Amino acid sequence: MKIKLLHLALAAPLAFCISPLSHAQSENEASLSTEEAVASSSITSVKREDIYITGGATQIKKQPGSAHLIDQNDIEKFEYDDINRVLSHIPGVNIQEEEGYGLRPNIGLRGAHPHRSRKIALMEDAVLIGPAPYSAPAAYYFPMFAKMEGIEVFKGPSAIKYGPNTVGGAVNMVTRSVPEEDGGRLNIAYGTDAYSKAHLFYGQRTDTWGWLVDGINLQTDGFKDLDTGNDTGFNKSDITLKGLINSDISADIYQQLEVKIQYSDEDSDSTYLGVTEEDFQDTPYRRYAASDRDHMDAEHKQLMLTHYIELDPTLSLTTIVYRNEFERLWSKLNGFDTNTSLSEIFANPNQGINVDFIQVLRGEINSSDLGPDGTLIVGNNDREYVSQGIQFLAHWDPMLLGVAHEFEFGFRLHNDYIERNHTTDSFLMTNGELISDGAATVATTTNKDSTDAIAIHVQDKIRIGDWTLTGGARAEFIDTVRKDRSSSNADDISNEDTVLIPGLGAFYQLTPELGLLAGVYKGFSPVGPGQNDDIDPEESINYEAGFRYYEGAFNTELVGFYNDYSNIKGVCTFSSGCADADIDKEFNGGAAEILGAEITLGYSLQHNDLSYPFKLNYTYTQAKFAESFGSTNPDWGVGDIKSGDPLPYIPEHQASFSTGIVGKSWQNHLIVKYVGERNDTANTNVSPSNRTIDGYIVVDLKSNYKVSKDLHIHASLRNALNKVYVTSLRPFGDRPGIPRQVQVGMKYNF
């Protein structure tokens, strides 16, 4: 099954363009505000129920599964650029912070390992947005959050519609729509560490066409102090163009065609290198001189064409043709030219020759003092990714035998690939600086992983009285190939996988305020290209049950979950401590169990002209291996893992709390986030030696003041208490969270 998608991707939009647009009449198809568009099934710049997994704000209360929506009001209230801070307001989300700014977030759901968000269905506008979601799902590219008008997290049975990774659930980000009225906004901000933000968008709309341009630039010098004095921040820009044409609303059949073109680039001084535990206590934001050449250059391009046709009020079809291209060159310290890895050095920095290695990393002694072992190897991971395809989504909402149905049929033809061109260069630490030793560049990995996939899903939502029943299934037909491009004589490694992923959910409206929900579905994560025949897919049966209660200004939700893994799968990555030659190697972990509970409480007290909003989220997670085995996966730890050992980097307790005072022209908000302690590895019987990472509390403050109808001033104090905390010990050493940051800015609508 070799699917030639590129020709389809080019041909399909041409077919749409030459097809004449006809027209439709509907009382509800009038211009809507963003909030109304989210909550309605009427037509705006795109069909909202096809973009929002949950169906929007009004539908989310009756979802037969755990679903959460952060809308545009919440996004603007907190003015976050970092997706990690946004998602901390949603229970059941596991986040492993990295560089402090959310450039490459690590997101997991319900105990699924958060590393590079590879265990979730990560989407933008309902289209997979990972660089190569089948061939290399690690999300080294992540969209700029500032351009989003909504984000949803779905952990229930409906997540099976999106795949290919359905173990944890789905995260869908919705980009700014073409406006319903002419206008735009300028948003600028400045802050600590030379932080600056410039965000401008503008669009126009008529009855039959519209357009939008949305441009953002974020930059900072960074909060870490590099021994050489160089910057440790980033400069990232993004521009998105949208254009649409639609039929007149007075015609019989409504059609709409939208084009989206996006380009972004990133220039960042990111590093995987941390510091020793002892150095962290004294100088937590220090960066060793050996990381001076760590740098990321990346660019992303996207083209999407979305065609919507409503044949009658009960039948519609959405077709999306998409292509994403991502290129990155990440230069980073691999280690020393010796058999002793950086992981081993940082695990035991005060033993034997490791003391000298650490001094070289700091720039305190020269590489020549250690002889050949003192040579430092810098890897240059040059990668090109492409993700492309065409997907169809049909909705049919008939009354059959007196019962209301909402049928959905989806079909996706997808191709993605990654080309790796990894090389290394060798350097000598000399008087605190990295100097090339003059040796030639060495090619280390030269291969191409590619995947062709067909995905089909069907779902029926039935409404019978107070019951809403949802049943569906997803089928995946996956072909993968690994090609060794370094040798013309090397054989390709091909694999095929076919899987059926069912799900069933139920919601019962017990009273007008109280609803009960329950669901069961299959979790699945496919085997990647080039793996050994003994590697199995990750599979689980996931259960959930709970209730939702809404009464006036008060709402609460409690959901318990249990994920029963027949096989949990690990992946070797450089950022988890793997050697370059083992990157993307997969490991079977056998049976595992993850259970927990998610609680949400919300209330808004009104008094005179003031309101006092309150929201609390809490997640309890118990994640453990359910059988013993010998591990060779650095992500879990190398050695004997016992049944009952914890899964690394999954906190047992985490919570977020927000409150505030809101007046007619001003708002003040307090946000508190708590993350409990986590294990770095499964237990003390594996290497590197296991450490428990302490829990932490971070407090943010946010204020907004409305000067006039169009002019707003905002200020924030992030990590207001200047908490020093460790986010990760991977891959090499203690890595800090971001310290106190002050930011002030203004928004002007025009």
402: left (phi over 0), alpha (psi -120 to 50) or beta: left
**How far is 23 from 156, CA to CA, in rounded Å?**
36
Mean pLDDT by 10 residues, the chain (750 residues): 39 33 32 35 44 64 83 84 90 91 91 88 94 92 92 85 87 93 96 97 96 98 96 97 92 93 96 96 97 97 96 94 97 94 92 96 96 95 97 94 93 97 96 96 94 97 93 96 87 93 95 95 93 92 95 94 95 76 86 96 94 96 95 88 94 96 95 95 79 94 95 96 94 94 96
pTM assigned to the model:
0.90
Angstrom CA distances, 217 to 188, 198, 200, 266, 267, stand at 10, 5, 9, 10, 12
**How far is 199 from 197, CA to CA, in rounded Å?**
6
Q: Where are the beta strands (DSSP E) in 291-402?
A: 295-312, 315-336, 376-396, 399-400
273: nearest Cα among 326, 330, 218? 330
pLDDT of residue 17: 33
Angstrom CA distances, 279 to 433, 469, 614, 677, 736, stand at 20, 56, 39, 21, 12
Count of domains observed in the chain: 1
Residue ranges making up the domain that contains 697: 5-749
Q: Which two tokens stand for residue 390?
A: 């065409």
537: nearest Cα among 598, 485, 476, 464? 476
**How far is 678 from 693, CA to CA, in rounded Å?**
5
Angstrom CA distances, 397 to 46, 418, 580, stand at 19, 40, 52
What CATH code is carried by the domain that includes residue 654? 2.40.170.20
Secondary structure (DSSP) of 506-541? EEEE-SSSEEEEEEEEEEEEPPPTT--TTPPPEEEE
**How far is 610 from 67, CA to CA, in rounded Å?**
30
**How far is 718 from 720, CA to CA, in rounded Å?**
5
Q: What angle do CA 693, 697, 702 make, to 5 degrees?
A: 145
166: left (phi over 0), alpha (psi -120 to 50) or beta: alpha
Q: For 585, which DSSP code? A: -
Secondary structure (DSSP) of 44-110? SSSBHHHH-TT--TTTGGG-SS-EEEE-HHHHHHHT---HHHHHTTSTTEEE---SSS-SS--EEET
Q: Is 292 helix (H, G, I), strand (E, B) or coil?
A: coil
Other C-beta atoms lying within 10 Å of the C-beta of residue 492: 12
- Find where tokens 């989210």 sit: 38
Length reported for the chain: 750
Angstrom CA distances, 419 to 208, 407, 554, stand at 42, 39, 52
Q: Is 371 helix (H, G, I), strand (E, B) or coil?
A: helix
335: left (phi over 0), alpha (psi -120 to 50) or beta: left
pLDDT of residue 332: 94
**How far is 584 from 111, CA to CA, in rounded Å?**
21
Secondary structure (DSSP) of 658-724? EEEEE-SSEEEEEEEEEE--EESSS-TTEESPP-EEPPEEEEEEEEEEESSSSEEEEEEEETTT---
Angstrom CA distances, 278 to 221, 233, 281, stand at 26, 24, 5
Secondary structure (DSSP) of 388-456? EEEEEEEEE--EETTEEEEEEEEEEEEEEEEEEEEEEEEEEEETTEEEE--PPPEEEEEEEEEEEEEEE
